[in-house]
């Protein structure tokens, strides 16, 4: 599918949508209607939201417009003329005011005309198959102080098969949704009545988490990090010192009063690592200092943004802080990027997007420091030959950063890895070290997370693998199924041999073998061992792989050797 063509295609589709809406509801005011990654939307201003009935009518209206096969015509007019055309479209007029050029373009199809840069396809008849997918509210220009618009989403394709395929993709995505799969596979649960956005890790999910965390710690220690542990709460004064009570107040849980003290649940780990740093005078010889912690933080997120494991109120960051000199930034960032690609690759993610965010309007630190740090980050990205996009002015106020985003099943992007230079905290906590010449200097502080949050990463993992975790991560790796109760002792003997090497279960239920196989398959256990008279006689086992079926008959030693390679 030609990307440029589909953009025009969807753009015209959105105009057809707008035309249908205008015809049915002449009082509706037009907002904007662009093509998006998968389809299109149009924003309308209307007091009443669109009902499912309205959507049905709009859909019919669109079919009419398509059937009429109206030519799409580009018209260039002066700004003054444009104002006249748009006299009843306040939102369009607002857009017009923002346009610098003296001549603007409109696109017309039949009796519908819209201020639009284009490009479009040549006639409405080219839109063959479309579907209105959903409606939602949105703020005009994304500004929550502005009008609330009614947004209608849709998708369209030249071929019916393409539309069907896309709708199938949406179905498939639903099946992969970690919010359904997680509880179904007994991995985790959420209990809104006892606090929304808080995750309960069940035994099976916890095993996966333990494997991830143990692996994470080992790799970090091998890569020159030291592990630290810090408290979950601290006196409010710590957060005043760090500045969080100012710039992060919105996201912090309300402080707790205990006697004459006030405690704050931590939204970040950094101030704690700083406290450790300040317990003694550091030397340039100590650098780089790399402290890592799987630190659980709590952030008060607005109700509407919570989303399964991907956006929660309590989560564990795979956090680390690197203290170094300005000259060491680049090398340290290269090392972090190495770790990022190692970890993400290990978990099966090879596609991700990298962003470099530069200095925003409001910032702390010196422009010179920002400049140097930003260049160091950029050089590191170049050295690693990582493609990246620059987000100008999107940096946090305290320093430039690199963000790496991976995609969930619905192609939503979620930030995992982040590498941030911080000019704020070293200043506020008066961090220092003794340099070669004996003078005191302020170190550079780099915050970084690779998986981001264990919860979010787990959610993305579930969707990525559709719950079929690779062998080394699977909560239950092998299930032994005796054909009848008679074979239970032999199954237990085999289980005993496998137990020291793998996470196994024996299905001792009084059920038919078909049922046991079905359940093991549905629970996505990677390997199934089946034991009956034949196996018992020859002292072998029958091996079946999840999703693939029978692999054959083997001895226990063979299985142990074979599967240990997959660990």
Instruction: Enumerate residues 307-336 that contact RNA by CB under 7 A.
Output: 307-308, 311-313, 315, 317
* Given 78, 303, 539, 555, the residue binding RNA (CB under 7 A): 303
Closest to RNA by CB, 107 vs 527, is 527
Closest to RNA by CB, 142 vs 259, is 142
Task: Give least dist CB 115 to RNA, A.
Answer: 20
Number of residues that bind RNA (CB under 7 A): 72
Q: Judged by CB under 7 A, which stretch of 9-17, 67-75, 98-106, 407-415 contacts RNA?
A: 407-415
Q: What is the rounded CA–CA span in Å between residue 262 and residue 339?
A: 39
Q: Burial level of 258, CB count in 10 A (0-12/13-18/19+)?
A: exposed
Task: Give least dist CB 455 to RNA, A.
Answer: 6
Task: Give least dist CB 122 to RNA, A.
Answer: 30
Give the strands of the sheet with 440-441, arranged side by side: 282-283, 433-434, 440-441
Which are the contacts of 59, defined by CB distance < 8 A and separation ≥ 6? Answer: 20, 132
Number of H helices, E strands in the chain: 18, 29
Which are the contacts of 123, defined by CB distance < 8 A and separation ≥ 6? Answer: 69, 70, 71, 72, 109
Task: Give least dist CB 155 to RNA, A.
Answer: 12
Closest CA to 433 of 278, 305, 232: 278
Peptide bond just before 522 cis, omega within 30 deg: no
Find tokens 């390679």 and name the residue: 565
Query: Per-residue x/- mask for RNA, residues 528 to 557, rule CB under 7 A?
Result: x-x-xxxx------x-x--x-xx-------
Q: Catalytic residues, which ones?
A: 270, 299, 317, 319, 321, 401, 447
Q: Burial level of 455, CB count in 10 A (0-12/13-18/19+)?
A: buried
End-to-end, the C-alpha distance of the chain in Å comes to 40
Query: Per-residue x/- mask for RNA, residues 501 to 530, rule CB under 7 A?
Result: ---------xxxxxx-xx--xx-----x-x
411 near RNA, judged by CB under 7 A: no
68 near RNA, judged by CB under 7 A: no
Give the 3-state secondary structure of residue 89: coil
Closest to RNA by CB, 287 vs 527, is 527
Closest to RNA by CB, 288 vs 452, is 452
* Given 137, 167, 256, 375, the residue binding RNA (CB under 7 A): 137
- Cα separations in angstroms, 17 against 13, 33, 48, 135, 185: 6, 9, 18, 13, 41
249-278 positions binding RNA, by CB under 7 A = none
Task: Give least dist CB 246 to RNA, A.
Answer: 14
Q: What is the rounded CA–CA span in Å between residue 273 and residue 276?
A: 5
Give the 3-state secondary structure of residue 356: strand
173-212 positions binding RNA, by CB under 7 A = 179, 183, 190, 192-193, 196-197
Query: Per-residue x/- mask for RNA, residues 7 to 26, rule CB under 7 A?
Result: --------------------
Angle of CA points 342, 374, 378, to nearest 5°: 45
* Given 14, 109, 124, 135, the residue binding RNA (CB under 7 A): 135
Closest to RNA by CB, 79 vs 179, is 179
Closest to RNA by CB, 65 vs 336, is 336
Closest to RNA by CB, 15 vs 447, is 447
165 near RNA, judged by CB under 7 A: no
415 near RNA, judged by CB under 7 A: yes
Distance of CA 272 to the CA centre of its chain: 27
Q: Judged by CB under 7 A, which stretch of 62-70, 132-140, 331-339, 362-370 contacts RNA?
A: 132-140
496 near RNA, judged by CB under 7 A: no
Helix axis angle, 329-346 to 203-222, nearest 10°: 140
* Given 78, 366, 484, 555, the residue binding RNA (CB under 7 A): 484
Task: Give least dist CB 519 to RNA, A.
Answer: 8
Task: Give least dist CB 527 to RNA, A.
Answer: 11
And the tokens for 21?
């809406």
Closest to RNA by CB, 86 vs 530, is 530
Q: Judged by CB under 7 A, which stretch of 160-168, 229-237, 299-307, 329-337 contacts RNA?
A: 299-307
Closest to RNA by CB, 124 vs 204, is 204
Task: Give least dist CB 123 to RNA, A.
Answer: 30
| 30 in Cβ contact with 7 (< 8 Å) | no
424 near RNA, judged by CB under 7 A: no
| 167 in Cβ contact with 271 (< 8 Å) | no
Helix axis angle, 367-383 to 329-346, nearest 10°: 40
Q: What is the rounded CA–CA span in Å between residue 493 and residue 506?
A: 10
Task: Give least dist CB 319 to RNA, A.
Answer: 9
């Amino acid at each position: 599918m030609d990307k440029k063509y589909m953009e025009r295609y969807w753009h015209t589709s959105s105009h057809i949508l707008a035309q249908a809406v205008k015809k049915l509801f002449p009082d509706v005011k037009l907002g904007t209607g662009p093509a998006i990654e998968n389809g299109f939307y149009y924003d309308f201003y209307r007091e009443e939201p669109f009902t499912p009935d309205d959507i049905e009518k709009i859909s019919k209206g669109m079919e009419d417009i398509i059937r009429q096969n109206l030519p799409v015509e580009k018209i260039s007019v002066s700004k003054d003329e444009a104002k006249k055309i748009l006299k009843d479209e306040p939102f369009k007029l607002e857009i017009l005011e923002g346009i610098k050029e003296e001549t603007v373009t409109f696109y017309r199809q039949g009796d519908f005309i819209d201020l639009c840069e284009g490009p479009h396809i040549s006639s409405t008849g080219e839109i063959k198959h479309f579907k209105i997918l959903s409606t939602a509210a949105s703020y005009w220009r994304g500004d929550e102080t502005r009008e609330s618009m009614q947004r209608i989403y849709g998708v369209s394709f030249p071929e019916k098969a393409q539309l069907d395929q896309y709708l199938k993709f949406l179905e498939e995505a639903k099946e992969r949704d970690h919010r359904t799969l997680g509880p179904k596979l007994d991995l985790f649960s959420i209990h809104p009545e006892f606090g929304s956005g808080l995750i309960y890790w069940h035994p099976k999910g916890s095993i996966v988490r333990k494997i991830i965390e143990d692996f994470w710690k080992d790799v970090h220690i091998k890569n020159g990090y030291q592990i630290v542990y810090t408290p979950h709460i601290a006196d409010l004064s710590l957060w005043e010192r760090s500045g969080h009570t100012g710039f992060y107040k919105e996201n912090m849980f309300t402080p707790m009063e205990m006697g004459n003290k006030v405690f704050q649940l931590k939204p970040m780990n950094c101030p704690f690592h700083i406290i450790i740093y300040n317990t003694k005078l550091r030397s340039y010889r100590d650098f780089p200092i790399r402290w890592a912690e799987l630190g659980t933080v709590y952030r008060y997120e607005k109700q509407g943004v919570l989303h399964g494991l991907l956006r929660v109120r309590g989560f564990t960051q795979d956090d680390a802080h690197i203290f170094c000199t300005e000259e060491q930034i680049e090398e340290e960032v290269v090392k972090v990027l190495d770790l990022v690609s190692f970890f993400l690759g290990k978990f099966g993610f090879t596609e991700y997007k990298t962003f470099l965010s530069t200095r925003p309007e409001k910032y702390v630190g010196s422009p010179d420091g920002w400049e140097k740090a930003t260049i160091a980050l950029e050089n590191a990205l170049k050295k690693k030959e990582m493609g990246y996009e620059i987000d100008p002015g999107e940096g946090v106020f305290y320093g430039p950063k690199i963000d790496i985003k991976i995609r969930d099943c619905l192609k939503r992007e979620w930030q995992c890895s982040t590498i941030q230079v911080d000019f704020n905290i070293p200043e506020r906590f008066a961090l220092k070290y003794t340099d070669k010449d004996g003078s005191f200097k302020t170190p550079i502080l780099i915050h970084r997370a690779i998986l981001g949050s264990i919860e979010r990463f787990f959610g993305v993992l579930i969707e990525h693998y559709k719950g079929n975790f690779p062998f080394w991560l699977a909560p239950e790796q092998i299930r032994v199924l005796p054909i009848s109760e008679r074979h239970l002792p032999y199954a237990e003997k085999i289980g005993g041999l496998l137990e020291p090497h793998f996470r196994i279960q024996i299905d001792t239920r009084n059920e038919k073998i078909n049922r046991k196989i079905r359940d093991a398959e549905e629970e996505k256990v990677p390997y199934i061992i089946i034991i009956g008279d034949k196996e018992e006689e020859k002292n072998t086992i029958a091996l079946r792989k999840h999703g693939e079926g029978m692999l054959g008959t083997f001895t226990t030693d063979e299985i142990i050797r074979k599967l240990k390679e997959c660990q």
